Structure 1
Amino acid sequence: MEDVTREMPLQPGGAGAPTPRPGPWKRLGQGAIVIGVGVAAFVLLFGMRAEPAEVDPPRVIPTVSTVPARVTQGAITVRGGGTVRPSAEVTIAPQVGGRVVWASPALVSGGRFLEDEPLLRVDPADYENAVEAAEADVAQREVALLEAEENARLALDEWKRLAARENLDPTPPNALVTRQPQLDAAKAALRSAAARLEDTRLALQRTWIRAPFNGIVRDETVDLGQFVSVGQAIGHLYATDEVEIVVPMSDNEAALIERLWSARAGEPETRIPVDITSEYGGADYLWSGYVDRAEGDLDEQTRTVDVVVRVPAPFAPMEDEPRRPPLLIGSYATVDIEGTSFEQYAIVPASAVRDGDVVWTVRDDTLLAMTPVEPIQEVDDLAMVLGAIADGTPVIVSSLAFVTDGMTVLPVQILESAQPPEADVGTASPGETGTPEGVGS
């Protein structure tokens, strides 16, 4: 019997039928359900979280660096500085013209001369001849004067004899009778000739060009055999007996020098003592000087007053310091002038003065105090101030981002070697003058 297998069609939903794929809208719905369940779970977990415990942050006390204040009394030091310049400088120029026949070997830049020492000489031949001619003219005028005097005497005698014979008035009627005008003319001619003789002798003397004072040659532009004319500049010479230092000062600094405006140039009784310091070869050297005067106008550009300090004998060596160099022209020098005396003032680091009139100090070992002060003067890294600051009071020199009066700080004193040098500002008794202790050492 033939086995015949027939293919029967599959019925929907029957065994072995494939699962139909869901549509797109159905998939979107399923995804939304999953997201919603996740969000609900997150909200539930977030709402059930434990609150963190509140903990106060640790209190930080700032550490500050301090330097003890130094309280003293007496005259303060007003410090300034300026460039050394000559007190006198002249242009070397001949008063007569001619060829240079002699020049001093020292007539070079840097050469030194004493007052009235010869620098050079112009050929004197023409001037010597002029002197001889003038002397001869004087001799002729003297003879002419003798003749005029004799003629006048004879004319007067003749008139007197005539007056006696004719019984006339013995007094001559006019000067022509006694030849007085001729006599006066002879005398005038002699004086004129004598004056010309003096001129020629003076011109002969001026063939020698001499130093007008003790000085040093700055430069020269003349050689032996060169022809020079009257008034021609052949060099420059500056004085060495004294030099000047022009120190510009603000009006506040100038006000600290009590007798500044009483100083008069050339009057020793009005001089104010000054100590001068200048560096040479890495070492500081000292000179003594005085305030000669203060210029009477305020500089329009810098708004400063120029105080003129003079230094005597700047090129002379010292017996106790033979290696000291001269105070060279053009070098920079620091001057310390005795200023006003105060019964009490404090010396603090200049960096400790805040906003111009406040110093941070430490009281009760840990509390910051904003102490108002009145600045007097600042010298290098130190400031002199008036205020309620006791000797040894810790003064804060470090910076703080936030500061309040009475805040707690941890002071740390700077080592002594790190403090500003005290030698720059000395202590003087009222009325005491001289160099502040340690300046220039």
Structure 2
Amino acid sequence: MSMIETGRKIRPMIKFILVLLVLGIGVAVMKGLMSTSVKAPAEGKELFVPNVEVLEVVEENYKVVLRAQGKVEPVSSTEIVSEVSGAIDWVSPELKAGGKFKKGELMLKLSQADYLSQLEQARANVADAELQIVQEEARAEQGLRDWKKLGRGGEPGELIKRVPQLKSAKARLIAAEAAVKQAERDLAKTEIVAPYACLVESAQVDQGGYLTSAGRVAIIYEADKVQVRLPLSLEDVSYLPPSLENVAVEINAQIGRLNEQWIGKVVRTEGVIDRATHTMMTVVEVAEKKDDGRFPLPPFGLFVEGVFKGTQFENVVRLPRMALRTNGTVWLVDSKGLLEVRDVTVERSDRDTVMVVDGLSSGESVITSPIEIPVDGMKVEISKTANRAP
């Protein structure tokens, strides 16, 4: 056998021996490390106790306050038109946008010349009609005398007694007197006066112009009072008296840096439920003027807030809204410092608070802060206590 062939047979054996040697060394090292390993002392798990903020329960008497927003509108709005035509002789300086008039104050005057002439003509026609009646009565008397002189027997006819002629003359007198009254009314209508104390929204006339019959003069608003239409939900209405008429309402508004307040009264409800919002419009009228302040009455077009005072509840608990959990429950901390999940009865809730009428007692601690994973009976630690709801 040659040397080359002998070398080829020996190489695999050498590789195998080397692998076994490496494995043996590895096993020996591993056993040595395992025999010299240090065992760490076992430690118990630390229990996590969440910190919570609580509110001490205080029973109190609570009056429901309802708030709604609306826009100030005029109680009455009238378009003034002329009932007669004619040239404009005089226009009040107040007959312009923003002008004010008292009830019965003269706003505009038309030329009266033609209407005075018509009135005099109507009066002359009355005099003629009266004369005609006197003449017909005299003719009737003369006819009766002539009838007797002629010695005719029987009852004279109606023509002899001038009955149709008298009837016609009296009818002419009635028509003439009616024409006088019409002429007097037309003459009076040449002066247009304010039907009530008002503010002028817009005016369509000016000095030297001409007005036709039914021509537009101005649009006016009632100045002595305003109204606000306030929407109330059906739930809100249940906290108000059965008859809303004359219920007092505070009207608040922010005008620039001024906080203005007026007192109004409910005059009616519109009696129709808005299907989209389930609200009912309540009309509040403000007529009591303030002697102080810049605005005796709320200005037209101003958005205001109406505040209604509703039902008063006795011995209820007011909580911040965040204290009410899902399914109408609250979290409490009992005397042992454990969390308790309790069902409560809520009468009313708004944006900030809830009113609890059953399920809580004075002195108990209601949790107001969040807990990531609340479990009934878990240990909690109080970090802050408040006396009552804000």
Taking structure 2 as the reference length, what is the TM-score of the superposition?
0.82
Summarize the Cα distance change of 1:302–1:27 in structure 2 as closer, same or farther, 3 Å threshold: farther
- 8 A contact 1:352–1:395 mirrored in 2: yes
RMSD over equivalenced CA pairs, Å: 3.8
Q: Over residues 252-302 of structure 1, what are the superposed CA-to-partner deviations in whole Å (9 max), with x where a residue is unaligned?
A: 11121132xx34xxxxxx422222222233343332221111111111332
Give the structure 1 partner of residue 277 of structure 2.
302
Question: 1: CA distance between counterparts of 2:224 and 2:106?
Answer: 18
- 8 A contact 2:77–2:222 mirrored in 1: yes
Displacement of 1:238 after TM fit? Answer: 1.0
| Among 232, 243, 250, the residue aligned to 1:249 | 232
Give the structure 1 partner of residue 127 of structure 2.
139
Q: Where do residues 149-160 of structure 1 align in structure 2 (5 Å cutoff)? A: 149-155=137-143
- Gaps of at least 5 residues in structure 1 are 1-10, 14-19, 264-269, 421-441
Matched, 1:148 2:156: no
Question: 1: CA distance between counterparts of 2:69 and 2:92?
Answer: 37
Give the structure 2 partner of residue 334 of structure 1.
305
Matched, 1:285 2:285: no
Give the structure 2 partner of residue 192 of structure 1.
175
- 8 A contact 1:253–1:377 mirrored in 2: no
Q: Over residues 178-215 of structure 1, what are the superposed CA-to-partner deviations in whole Å (9 max), with x where a residue is unaligned?
A: 22222222222222222222222222222222222112
Q: Look up the equivalent residue of 1:241 and give its one-letter code.
A: D
Q: Over residues 191-243 of structure 1, what are the superposed CA-to-partner deviations in whole Å (9 max), with x where a residue is unaligned?
A: 22222222222222222222221121222233222333333334321112221
Name the SS for the 1:212 alignment partner. coil
Summarize the Cα distance change of 1:178–1:276 in structure 2 as closer, same or farther, 3 Å threshold: same
Name the SS for the 1:101 alignment partner. strand
Question: 1: CA distance between counterparts of 2:314 and 2:249?
Answer: 22
Identify which range, 89-98 or 401-410, moves more after superposition: 401-410
- 8 A contact 2:319–2:389 mirrored in 1: no
Give the structure 1 partner of residue 287 of structure 2.
312
Summarize the Cα distance change of 1:124–1:166 in structure 2 as closer, same or farther, 3 Å threshold: closer
Give the structure 2 partner of residue 386 of structure 1.
357
Question: 2: CA distance between counterparts of 1:229 and 1:30?
Answer: 131
Matched, 1:77 2:65: yes
Question: 2: CA distance between counterparts of 1:382 and 1:206?
Answer: 61
Give the structure 1 partner of residue 372 of structure 2.
401
Summarize the Cα distance change of 1:364–1:90 in structure 2 as closer, same or farther, 3 Å threshold: farther
Q: Look up the equivalent residue of 2:207 and give its one-letter code.
A: L
Summarize the Cα distance change of 1:50–1:77 in structure 2 as closer, same or farther, 3 Å threshold: same
Give the structure 2 partner of residue 211 of structure 1.
194
| Among 55, 69, 84, the residue aligned to 1:96 | 84
- 8 A contact 2:262–2:290 mirrored in 1: no
Question: 1: CA distance between counterparts of 2:130 and 2:356?
Answer: 83
Give the structure 2 partner of residue 271 of structure 1.
246
Summarize the Cα distance change of 1:291–1:145 in structure 2 as closer, same or farther, 3 Å threshold: same
Identify which range, 383-392 or 287-296, moves more after superposition: 383-392
Give the structure 2 partner of residue 357 of structure 1.
328
Displacement of 1:91 after TM fit? Answer: 1.7
Q: Look up the equivalent residue of 2:80 and give its one-letter code.
A: I
Name the SS for the 1:293 alignment partner. strand
Name the SS for the 1:61 alignment partner. coil
Summarize the Cα distance change of 1:340–1:222 in structure 2 as closer, same or farther, 3 Å threshold: same
Question: 2: CA distance between counterparts of 1:358 and 1:86?
Answer: 47
Question: 2: CA distance between counterparts of 1:280 and 1:419?
Answer: 31
Question: 2: CA distance between counterparts of 1:104 and 1:297?
Answer: 43
Give the structure 2 partner of residue 113 of structure 1.
101
Taking structure 1 as the reference length, what is the TM-score of the superposition?
0.74
Name the SS for the 1:398 alignment partner. coil
Displacement of 1:153 after TM fit? Answer: 4.2
| Among 205, 213, 224, the residue aligned to 1:222 | 205
Question: 2: CA distance between counterparts of 1:111 and 1:27?
Answer: 122
Q: Look up the equivalent residue of 1:298 and give its one-letter code.
A: I
Identify which range, 123-132 or 188-197, moves more after superposition: 123-132
Give the structure 2 partner of residue 168 of structure 1.
154
Summarize the Cα distance change of 1:188–1:76 in structure 2 as closer, same or farther, 3 Å threshold: same
Displacement of 1:142 after TM fit? Answer: 2.4
- Gaps of at least 5 residues in structure 2 are none
Q: Look up the equivalent residue of 1:332 and give its one-letter code.
A: F
- 8 A contact 1:280–1:325 mirrored in 2: no
Question: 1: CA distance between counterparts of 2:325 and 2:276?
Answer: 28
Q: Over residues 100-131 of structure 1, what are the superposed CA-to-partner deviations in whole Å (9 max), with x where a residue is unaligned?
A: 33222122222211111122223333323322
Displacement of 1:52 after TM fit? Answer: 6.0
Displacement of 1:95 after TM fit? Answer: 2.0
Question: 1: CA distance between counterparts of 2:216 and 2:8?
Answer: 120
Q: Over residues 143-191 of structure 1, what are the superposed CA-to-partner deviations in whole Å (9 max), with x where a residue is unaligned?
A: 22332333344445655x379x45535xx55x44422222222222222
Name the SS for the 1:181 alignment partner. helix
Question: 2: CA distance between counterparts of 1:317 and 1:144?
Answer: 65
- 8 A contact 1:375–1:383 mirrored in 2: yes
Question: 2: CA distance between counterparts of 1:211 and 1:27?
Answer: 129
Displacement of 1:411 after TM fit? Answer: 3.2
Question: 1: CA distance between counterparts of 2:256 and 2:159?
Answer: 84
Displacement of 1:251 after TM fit? Answer: 0.9
Question: 2: CA distance between counterparts of 1:250 and 1:114?
Answer: 39
Summarize the Cα distance change of 1:180–1:252 in structure 2 as closer, same or farther, 3 Å threshold: same
